[in-house]
Structure 1
Amino acid sequence: MIYKFRIVLDTLDDVFRDIEIEESATLEDLHNSVTQAFGFDGTEMASFYLTDEEWNQGEEIVLFDMSEGMNSVRMMNETSLDSVVDEKNTKLIYVYDFFSMWTFYVELADITEAEDGRDYPNLMFAHGQLPDSPPE
């Protein structure tokens, strides 16, 4: 199955990207797709956060383990999309670059069958330009 996500920058202006990706892909694959879609170089720290329907931030899933073995952490490269997102749990928060705090709302918009001949992940639609600096 293919997950279709809308990724919205937390800003007053409408800045979003629609990405479709295989349900078995990892959160790291989604991270890579989001950074490419918004024009980031992908070298900064990043995390996804589980969330509820009201966008309250929950468990963190990290790109790099900085705990030095002190805590058990969930890693993006070990977490498949279908293990954290489904028809009932459709929302994630994504933060890129903890110095700048680019914050995005990630929402599952649809689940469809894969289309023959299409490569995934796929940037379906882009709207708005990323501002020069992150929103306050």
Structure 2
Amino acid sequence: MIYLFRIISAENPDFYRDLVAGGTDTFLDFHSTLQKELGYDPTQLASFYITDANWGKETEITLIDMMQEPGVTSYSMDQVTLEEHISELNQRMLYLFDFFSERAFFIELIEMEDQISSRQTPFIGHRQGDAPPQLALDQLMDESPELEDTDPLDDPDN
């Protein structure tokens, strides 16, 4: 089975990527291809969520096994193939790439064919626009307001 996924961002309406993957590819393969394509730091936490038609989270597929959300079944990216969870055209997923700010890409299966790709999968089929930046934890800290070095108890007005 060959899948064609459309990946979009709510942050940049001009951005999209089309990713072609085989049914036997793992979610880790999908993650690695996307991280490399976007120039993101692959050491950052990430998760896929299989969702319902309204983007409600149903199943989490994590990079690192962590505490799962209540009511959400959880699997590890390196242990699960796409064909184990992707079976219907227009099926949706979220790809949470920034855990600290809860930023995600919206992914939808737009085509599926019962054949084998002549290329090694997964790969990016089409691209448009710039991806939103991936904020690392140290960048978040750099953007936080500086705390004053003064002690409020030393204020002569107190």
TM tier, smaller:
0.7 to 0.9
Aligned to 2:52: 52
Tell me: higher relative CO, structure 1 or 2? Use CA pairs within 8 A at least 6 residues apart: 1
- Bigger-Rg structure (1/2): 2
CA distance in 2, matches of 1:127, 1:16: 5
Aligned to 1:114: 116
CA RMSD of aligned residues (A): 2.0
Structure 1 spans left out of the alignment, 5+ residues: none
TM-score, normalised relative to structure 2? 0.73
Deviation of 1:74 (Å): 1.1
Deviation of 1:93 (Å): 0.6
2:22–2:117 contact (8 Å) kept in structure 1? no
Aligned to 2:87: 86
Kindly tell me the number of residue pairs found equivalent between the two proteins: 129
Aligned to 1:32: 32
Deviation of 1:73 (Å): 3.9
Greater fraction strand: 1
Deviates more, 1:19-28 or 1:56-65: 56-65
Aligned to 1:19: 19
Greater fraction helix: 2
Identity %: 33
1:18–1:123 contact (8 Å) kept in structure 2? yes
CA distance in 2, matches of 1:131, 1:35: 12
Aligned to 1:61: 61
Aligned to 2:3: 3
